[in-house]
């Protein structure tokens, strides 16, 4: 191996790598997650709480 890394280690690193989301895609995913959380909860809380919880799923 040229860089001394074994193929298994490189494959594992690729599987564990988190794909960077474009800002628009991240916003849309947070929006959808927040809505789904609110829907499951019966829209009982402040929408900001759902949004913040959803943001924690898609940390930048």
Domain extents in the chain: 21-60
Gap between the Cα atoms of 54 and 52, Å rounded: 5
Q: What is the mean pLDDT of residues 5-11?
A: 62
In contact, 34 and 53? CB cutoff 8 Å: yes
Under 8 Å between Cβ of 34 and 51: yes
Question: What global pTM score does this model have?
Answer: 0.66
The mean per-residue pLDDT over the stretch 26-47 comes to 97
pLDDT at position 21 is: 87
Which pLDDT tens digit goes with each residue over 12-33? 555 545 578 899 999 999 999 9
């Amino acid at each position: 191996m040229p860089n001394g890394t074994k193929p298994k280690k490189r494959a594992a690193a690729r599987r564990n790598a988190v794909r960077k989301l474009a800002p628009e895609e991240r916003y849309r995913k947070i929006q959808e997650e927040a809505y789904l959380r609110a829907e499951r909860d019966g829209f009982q809380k402040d929408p900001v709480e759902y949004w913040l919880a959803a943001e924690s799923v898609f940390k930048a």
